[in-house]
């Protein structure tokens, strides 16, 4: 029996628009490769998974039971090298979410074409779905990005569960939303200075970075997650929640409004220190284009 696409008005209920986030990495989509090197390059990074979890109201493990290809003329916003699929799936587990989830799911997803340019066969696959509640429609959900579906491997699910635990814990680290204040103060010796960067957060909880320079020594920096600006604070380890909250959410540049000093010398030093921190953190690498 062939799966029939629902009317266009139904598709609109489950189609989520592209979400433009500060860490989005634009680029041309590439067909799925069968080589292990390409598979590794296409695998979701820690930043991908953390972003999907961060945006989701619910995370579901499901098994796909049927699929149908959406015609190109009905696939507005589809990226080159991708195909839009209408999928039906059986719910296997609700990893996160407060809304009721039915045993059957219907949704749209954008996936890369195979090497021969055809739609991938995903029937019977177990997948992780990262979604949001649809206002006014209990039991309905939309993916947080058009491609927010990943294979439900044990390793991937374990990482997602760990991220869910860290992000929903009572003492979860705050989400950085911007820079509030920046200042840099020279010391008594030549080449001595300290720069302090205070961030805005979604919850209002304090987060700050200090960069300390001493003569004939490498600069040191660290993150404080409290109201106390601790000079002994350390940089976060890569691919941890501490790293993600800073590396992937801090803005590219210091906004003009954040400088507390009008003199050119401390402002310049603050900018130098800010770029030093960004370089030391490394790239917030992403392989999932629309996340």
Return the pLDDT at 134.
74
In our burial notation (b when 16+ CB lie closer than 10 A, e otherwise), range 237-271 reads: eebebbbbbbbbbbeeebeeebbeeeeeebbebbb
Instruction: In whole angstroms, give the CA distance from residue 279 to residue 190.
Output: 24
Whether the per-residue pLDDT at 2 is higher than 60: the answer is no
Token pair listed for 119: 């739609």
3-class state of residue 291 by DSSP: coil
Lowest mean pLDDT among 66-75, 90-99, 132-141, 165-174: 132-141
User: Cα-flanking dihedrals φ and ψ of residue 275, to 5°?
Assistant: -65, -35
Whether the per-residue pLDDT at 287 is higher than 70: the answer is yes
Task: List Cα–Cα distances, 26 to 18, 130, 288, in angstroms.
Answer: 12, 20, 10
Instruction: In whole angstroms, give the CA distance from residue 125 to residue 80.
Output: 24
Q: Which of 142, 140, 116 is nearest to 129 (CA)?
A: 142
Return the pLDDT at 21.
31
Whether the per-residue pLDDT at 24 is higher than 60: the answer is no
**What angle is formed at CA 230 by the lines to CA 229 and CA 235, rounded to 5 degrees?**
110
Return the pLDDT at 132.
87
Number of H helices, E strands in the chain: 6, 10
Instruction: In whole angstroms, give the CA distance from residue 228 to residue 212.
Output: 16
Q: Which residues contact 228 (CB under 8 A, 6 or more apart)?
A: none
How far, rounded to the nearest angstrom, does the alpha carbon of residue 274 sit from its chain's CA centroid? 22
Give the pLDDT band of residue 29 (cuts 50, 70, 90): very low
Average pLDDT, integer, range 114-122: 94
> Model confidence over 49-87: pLDDT tens digits?
999 999 999 999 999 999 999 998 999 999 999 999 999
Return the pLDDT at 8.
40
Lowest mean pLDDT among 35-44, 96-105, 130-139, 150-159: 35-44
> Model confidence over 226-281: pLDDT tens digits?
987 766 789 999 999 999 999 999 999 999 999 999 999 999 999 999 999 999 99
Instruction: In whole angstroms, give the CA distance from residue 178 to residue 168.
Output: 21
pTM (global) more than 0.85: no
């Amino acid at each position: 029996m062939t799966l029939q696409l629902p009317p266009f008005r139904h598709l609109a209920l489950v189609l989520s628009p592209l979400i433009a986030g500060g860490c989005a990495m634009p680029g041309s989509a590439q067909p799925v490769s069968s080589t292990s090197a390409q598979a590794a390059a296409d695998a979701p990074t820690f930043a991908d998974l953390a972003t999907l979890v961060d945006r989701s109201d619910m995370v579901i493990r499901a098994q796909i039971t049927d699929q149908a290809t959406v015609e190109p003329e009905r696939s507005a916003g589809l990226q080159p090298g991708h195909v839009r699929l209408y999928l039906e799936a059986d719910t296997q587990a609700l990893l996160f979410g407060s809304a009721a989830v039915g045993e059957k799911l219907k949704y749209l997803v954008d996936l890369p074409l195979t090497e021969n340019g055809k739609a991938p066969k995903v029937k019977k696959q177990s997948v992780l779905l990262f979604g949001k509640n649809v206002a006014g429609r209990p039991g309905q959900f939309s993916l947080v990005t058009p491609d927010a579906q990943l294979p439900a491997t044990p390793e991937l699910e374990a990482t997602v569960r760990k991220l869910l635990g860290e992000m929903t814990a009572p003492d979860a680290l705050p989400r950085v939303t911007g820079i509030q204040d920046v200042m840099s103060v020279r010391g008594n010796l030549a080449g001595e200075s300290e720069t302090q960067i205070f961030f805005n957060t979604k919850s209002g909880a304090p987060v700050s970075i200090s960069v300390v320079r001493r003569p004939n020594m490498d600069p040191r920096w660290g993150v404080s997650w409290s109201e106390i600006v601790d000079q002994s604070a350390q940089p976060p380890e890569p691919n941890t929640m501490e790293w993600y909250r800073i590396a992937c959410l801090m803005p590219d540049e210091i906004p003009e409004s954040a400088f507390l000093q009008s003199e050119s010398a401390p402002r310049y030093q603050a900018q130098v220190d800010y770029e030093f921190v960004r370089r030391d953190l490394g790239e917030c690498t992403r392989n999932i284009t629309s996340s």
